[in-house]
Amino acid sequence: MKTVITGASGHLGINLVRALISKGREVRALSHLSDRGLEGLQVEYSKGDVGNLSSLVEAFEGADVVYHLAAHISLMMDDWQRCSEVNVVGTANVVEACRRSGVKRLVHFSSIHALCQEPFDSPVDESRPHVDSSKAPPYDRSKAAGEKIVRKAIEEGFNAIIINPTAVVGPYDYRPSHFGLALLQMARGNLPVLIEGGFDWVDVRDVVDCAIKAEEIAATGSNYLLSGTWLSIKEVADIVAMIMGKKAPSMICPLSVARACSPIVTLSSRLIGARPIFTTASLTALVSNHHILHEKATRELGYKPRPIRDTLADTIQWFKDNGFLNP
């Protein structure tokens, strides 16, 4: 069975490629930016671009399954154009290319950010409405719009399923991801002040294993929310400090103060060419629902996320082994 993965060189993509190869699958990887993390693997490469429909049609030729992971992940409030180009138009191109190439099934990776988390006193499940407020971060709105495109195609008879993971963390984070960067800052002791709030964190390996199971057995149109454990930033920092044998930061900055300072911090980061971690959009995400359910995935697919402490320990060890935390 030939399987094509868009966004194959991203954090999720690298883990998915490895999981599929371990199952004996024939994998074709679409990598727009870099092949780092895929070196030495039995992978066929294609330089497809989700913004170029004809390149996708060519890349999907002969494929039985397409996993659509490619996305523009943004923490900025002024990034709608790029988010729309990749996460909305790009998803529409993927669906159309699947149709033209005769792909039998699409596994679309959406996000928890596509779903409304309010009201916070009620658990979030697959029935939550999509984000549609113009005040929501561009990434959230674009993932919601992209998911709606796939849902409309499903209503028209297209064979697709949808995966909504929470905040993904784990090994093989070469780039690294936004949260991987925050973990590195914590491990290095470069975050003396923490931000109030938290999020639901899930192991990347559990997400890709469940996605593969869903691809194999789930009914057309199924969607699954893959959550893990809600932890505050302080709780994450405490675990990282324990792993590193260091003292955890004790100062907590209220969200109201962080929001007031975020425009200055964001501008300063841009001026020095660094990626900002705490922006207006990321601070919005930290005001999150503590109860994001995965009962449907557990019931239908046997999904059982591992303890988040194990995930953080494995991730820090991977960063150490790969030179991200050299003395």
Instruction: Tell me what percent of the residues of the chain surpass a pLDDT of 90.
Output: 81
Average pLDDT for 292-317: 98
Which tens digit of pLDDT belongs to each residue from 259-280? 787 767 666 666 666 677 778 8
Which tens digit of pLDDT belongs to each residue from 126-171? 999 999 999 999 999 999 999 999 999 999 999 999 999 999 999 9
Average pLDDT for 306-327: 95
> How many residues are present in the chain?
327
The answer to whether the beta carbons of residues 220 and 190 sit under 8 Å apart is: no
Q: Strand 229-232: give its sheet, edge to edge.
A: 167-169, 198-203, 229-232
Terminus-to-terminus CA distance in the chain, angstroms?
A: 45
- Show the domains of the chain with their CATH numbers: 2-175+201-229+290-306 (3.40.50.720)
pLDDT computed for residue 65 by the predictor: 98
Window from 2-6, 39-43, 307-311 with minimum mean pLDDT = 39-43
Mind giving me the DSSP string for 241-297?
HHHHT-PPP-EEE-HHHHHHHHHHHHHHHHHTTPPPSS-HHHHHHTS--S-B--HHH
Which tens digit of pLDDT belongs to each residue from 169-205? 999 999 999 999 999 999 999 988 899 999 999 999 9
Interatomic CA distance for residues 145 and 221, integer angstroms: 17
What Cα–Cα distance (Å) separates residue 221 from each residue in 3, 65, 74, 94, 95? 19, 15, 27, 16, 14
